[in-house]
Amino acid sequence: MEIINTKIGRRSFLKTSGAIGGGLLVGFNWLLSCKDLISKKPLDSIPKEWFKINGYIRIDQNGMVTILSPNPEIGQNVMTSMPMIVAEELDTRWENVTVKQGKLDGDSFKNPQFAGGSLSIKKGWDPLRIAGAAGRYMLIKAASKELDIPYENLITDKGIIFDKSKKIKIDYGKVASKAVHIKVPEDLKLKSPEKYTIIGTSQRNVEGPKIVKGESLFGIDFQAENMLISMIEHPPAFGMRIESFNKDEIIDMPGVIDAFVIDTSTPNPSWAEVNAFKEIIAIVGNKTWDVMQAKKKLKVNWVKIDNLEDSEDHRLRLEKDLLYGTTTEKRLDGDPDIVLKNATKTLERTYSCPFIAHNTLEPMNFFANVQENSVELIGPIQTPKTLESSVSSLLGIPAENIEVKMTRIGGGFGRRLYVHFGLEAAMISKKIGAPVKLLYKREDDLTQGIYRPAYKSVYKAAFNKKNELTAFSVKGVGLPSGPVFPNRFPAGSIDHYLAENKSSSTNISTGAWRAPKSNFTAGAEQSFIDEIAEICEKDPIDFRLELLKKSIQSPSGKKFDYDPKRFIKVLELVREKSSWNSGNKYKGVASYFCHSTYVAEVIEMVMVQNQPKIKNVWCAVDCGIVINKDSAKNMIEGSIIDGIGHALYSELNFKDGRVINNNFDKYNLIRFNQAPSKINVFFVENNLSPTGLGEPGLPPAIGALANSLYRITGKRFYSQPFFSKENLFSS
Amino acid sequence: MEFFEINVNNKIHQVEADPSTPLLWIIRENLSLVGTKYGCGISQCGACTVHLNGEAIRSCVYPVSAVGKQKITTIEGLSKDGEYSYVQEAWINEDVSQCGYCQAGQIMSATALLEKSSDPPDDEIDIAMSGNICRCGTYTRIKKAIKSASSNKKSNGNY
Ligand code: FES
Ligand code: FES
């Protein structure tokens, strides 16, 4: 059993919820949602009153529980897994739980309301457990009074409080109204993992039934009374800005209400306000199609204010700055330069990847209703808190007067960490003086991205006469910064080691794309290690294990930032599950550690009509305690397909500052027939605190893909996308 | 602006719209059926898939003026009286969705396929489903769901 302190930073569970005297009356729609048709959940009667136990938990008199899910739901399924953690410590039946999306509310929620960096579960683990345990404590305390039995003599079992002899019992629902005022102590007992009955099981996506029925869930679906529709037009190229446009003609178009230029610059922009185009044209009308038609009729004078970059410029710049760029980060162990110079044999390989876009299937959109001194913002955002403060600074309206509600989000991948579309919606609503939903056309979305930067890295290895690896070096550069993690594997496992990042520059807007930097580096490094193993005449998995053992037994240099023992476990697990040493020989392996999670993957290829095709993928994951097993598998399956898809097919190309491939006819995304036939996911079982899963499955997929392609084609792949006709980055 | 009478989910609706308006926006904005999604607007992603007389079409490029008397079914029309269709049920059981944004379109494409061919071989599934992008990469689960829907259908009937 774990004792946990209920104070989390400055946020404390100690104060009671300040609950509403009797209970909390809630709207009719919410009540209806308690009825889940597919599982035919028990529902004795529709609750009349909900008692607010704390920010996360409401209980009604029949013991029905509503759990508010605090974080944005971008498809990582936190709307199911976060409430599962609360329900576990509350000790209720999952069947009695209804989940509702919480809004941005720092008073109610003690965990950061943020979806990014695979952090929701990692950062939510303690606060969510405390919320559940605090609720359970309050209910037992209330029962203790009611039954006149000492607190210590009461136990709970799935929503029922018993005395130790199990003769006397009382339902959570019966004491909920009396629990609301009970104070939570400074220290609380948490369950030990062996006692879990909800965590570690597989529970279906709580919104799965609504999704398949096409219910209104997403930002794009949101409707409000008197709501207007808006679209934007941004400069057609990076390095351009607007001068003037044919406003009068646009306003005369049918269904158009107004058109104007907005500026979303703020005095001290946060990192989340990255956006190349602060000044854009907004067209407002009644219906989307009308506004789209008006957009086509725009005639704009754009002026050049900066370089208009081409993909070819990018390639040359990366090449130059890989040699001469400013070093921004570096780790040096031993003397790799000398060892490389005196080596019997050396290996040098250069890897590269292009810019790519996030392409969330739901394009950027947001609803805003700006009034005199208050704002309502509703839509898909990974960083609601940051949006709130940016809108506050843009409009000069205090944050307390801004309400942010999160809708279900049609994909994130990092794109919705950035808040510009929320600012734009707010500015448009302010100008037009009405509630507005802003929607990007796919072309607007693809050409105004915060892209994954293009990267280039050069890897070198030295070998002695016995073909043993003696030195390793990597230098990487990106537009604008390098992709290398100097203290990650293989740091610590090679005595002469250099890892260095260099910077470059671009006026294309870039940012976090699922597993930032790792999404390139894992593929490059793991392909290079595969080539090294070949020269050393070692089995690729054995070779990786040897390096990891070296970092346990005689680590070189300063500290490194991975746990070699956990790394070894996933490699051994994937070796076993993939039957690595038998059957089809066209298998490639990769392993990677990022976002606190260890992953090893094996991809198996077959030839189908002279084309390599992925037949099977095996994946071993150590993310500590797994919350929702089948859904965790889903996340890993998706990230593997995502990694494979982008490495094989996707690239964003520029000509005169313009994105050339501005919709899915020109921008390739992996499709159904190109996906692996089977993905098998396995978890290392342990009781370590859970880490994130949204990202870490993706990076090693690219390495395993490149290595398996080598096994079946005899060709090494160095530049992404691997399958591309006009690959400007190919070597 | 013109008046149109269209049959959506077995109900006749009167709408006033520019004849060039894609069916997608009529469904979403005039009829407030928002299950049908916008993804690309150029028939490349399948998010807007609906049925026209049982055939899967991309409503983002299908003008309202071309509908005439033909029957439109949207995702909202698949479930009858709160019951799920066999395809929707398979989707729930396989827990296919991640973000879920593409899934209405996926289900419409899969339903059109299974209504024509109750036990489709893999290459037929590939052809029917490759026009629907899932950016979250749920393809392997979609395939599983199609297979289980197909075997459920054989034992149960239709939608
Ligand atoms: S929106 Fe119709 S196919 Fe993409
Ligand atoms: S589930 Fe997100 S696009 Fe398919």
What residue ranges line ligand 2, CB within 6 angstroms?
A 75, 361, 411; B 97-103, 134-136, 138
Q: What's the pLDDT score for residue A484?
A: 98
Q: How far apart are CA A198 and CA A192, in angstroms?
A: 13
A688 touches B at CB < 8 Å = no
pLDDT in tens, A584-638: 899 999 999 999 999 999 999 999 988 999 999 999 999 999 999 999 999 999 9
Model confidence at A7, pLDDT cuts 50, 70, 90, reads: confident
Looking at the complex, report in whole angstroms how far the Cα of residue A86 sits from the nearest Cα belonging to chain B: 21
Q: Judge if A219-305+364-439 and A325-355+451-730 fold alike in CATH terms.
A: yes
Under the banding of pLDDT at 50, 70 and 90, the label for residue A6 is: confident
Which chain B residues are Cβ-neighbours of A665 within 8 angstroms?
A: 42, 44
Percent of chain A scored above 90 by pLDDT? Answer: 91
Q: In what order do the strands lie in the sheet with A345-353?
A: A327-333, A496-503, A469-478, A455-463, A345-353
Predicted pLDDT at A47: 64
> Of A225, A207, A230, A226, which is closest to residue A217 (Cα–Cα)?
A207
CATH label, A2-208, candidates 3.20.20.370, 3.50.50.60, 2.40.10.220, 3.30.365.10 = 3.30.365.10
pLDDT value at position A558? 87
CATH number of the domain located at residue range(s) A325-355+451-730 in this protein:
3.30.365.10
Confidence band of B155 (pLDDT split at 50, 70, 90): low
Q: Would you give the DSSP letter of residue A469? A: E
- B158 to chain A nearest CA, in Å? 16
Q: Are B159 and B114 in contact (CB under 8 A)?
A: no
CB-CB under 8 Å, A37 with B84: yes
Query: Does residue B58's CB lie within 6 angstroms of at least one atom of ligand 1?
Result: yes
Domain boundaries A219-305+364-439, corresponding CATH code: 3.30.365.10
Domain boundaries, chain B: 2-76, 86-156
Asked whether the beta carbons of A153 and A86 are under 8 A apart, the reply is no
Rounded CA separation A28/A408 (Å): 20
DSSP annotation of A184 reads P
pLDDT at A5: 83
Q: Which atom of ligand 2 is nearest to the CA of A411?
A: 2
pLDDT at B104: 98
| pTM across the whole model | 0.95
- Going by alpha carbons, the residue nearest to atom 3 of ligand 1 is B43
Q: Determine whether the interchain pair A672/B35 forms a contact, defined as Cβ–Cβ distance below 8 Å.
A: no
Distance of CA A463 from the midpoint of ligand 1 (Å): 54
Residue A1, pLDDT > 90, answer no
Contact B39 A442 (CB under 8 A): yes
| A106 part of contact set with chain B, CB < 8 Å | no
Q: Does A630 touch chain B (CB under 8 A)?
A: yes
Q: Tell me what pLDDT residue A20 has.
A: 44
Residues of B in contact with A287 (CB under 8 A): 25, 29
Rounded distance, CA A370 to CA A431, Å? 9
Q: How far is A128 from chain B (nearest CA, A)?
A: 22
Pocket flag, ligand 1, residue B43 (CB < 6 Å): yes
pLDDT over 60 (residue A420)? yes
Residue A30: pLDDT over 60: no
What integer pLDDT is reported at residue A10 of this predicted model? Answer: 63
Helix, strand, coil % over all residues of chain A, rounded to 5 = 30, 25, 45
What number is the average pLDDT over the span A398-409? 98
Task: Let me know if the fold of B2-76 is the same as that of B86-156.
Answer: no
Q: What was the pLDDT predicted at A38?
A: 38
- Checking if the pLDDT of A17 tops 70, the result is no
CB contact under 8 A, A212 and B82: no
Ligand 1 atom nearest residue A664's Cα: 4
A223 and B CB contact within 8 Å:
yes
Residue with CA closest to ligand 2 atom 4? B134
* Cα(A108)–Cα(B41) distance, integer angstroms: 40
pLDDT of residue A728: 31
Please tell me the number of the ligand nearest to residue A671's CA. Answer: 2
Q: Measure B69 CA to nearest chain A CA, in Å.
A: 23
Mean pLDDT, rounded, for B48-61: 98
Cβ of residue B60 lying under 6 Å from some atom of ligand 1: yes
Query: CA nearest A215 in B: which residue?
Result: B35
Q: How far apart are alpha carbons A191 and A188 in whole angstroms? A: 10
Q: Interface pTM (ipTM) of the complex?
A: 0.97
Determine the pLDDT at residue A43: 46
pLDDT in tens, A32-80: 343 333 344 444 445 668 999 999 999 999 999 999 999 999 999 999 9
Report domain extents, chain A. Answer: 2-208, 219-305+364-439, 325-355+451-730
Query: Which pLDDT score is estimated for B81?
Result: 79
The pLDDT score that the predictor gives to residue A690 is: 97
pLDDT (0 to 100) of residue A24: 40
What integer pLDDT is reported at residue B80 of this predicted model? 81
Give me the mean pLDDT over the A270-295 stretch.
Answer: 97
Superfamily of domain B86-156: [2Fe-2S]-binding domain (1.10.150.120)
- Answer whether A211 touches B (CB < 8 Å): yes
- What is the enclosing helix (H) or strand (E) of A528? helix A518-535
Range A370-392 average pLDDT? 97
Distance CA B35, CA B106 (A): 12
The pair of structure tokens assigned to A288 is 């989307």
User: What value does the mean pLDDT take over residues A533-552?
Assistant: 98
CATH 3.40.50.720 fits B2-76, yes or no: no
- Name the nearest CA neighbour of B97 among A23, A583, A77, A327: A77
Ligand 1 centroid distance, CA of A360 (Å):
13
pLDDT tier at A115 (50, 70, 90 boundaries)? Answer: very high
Q: Read off the pLDDT of residues B71-105 as tens digits, 9 standing for 90 and up.
A: 999 999 998 877 999 999 999 999 999 999 999 99
- B154 vs A224, higher pLDDT: A224
Q: Tell me the mean pLDDT in the region A174-190.
A: 93
Is residue A730 pLDDT above 70, yes or no? no
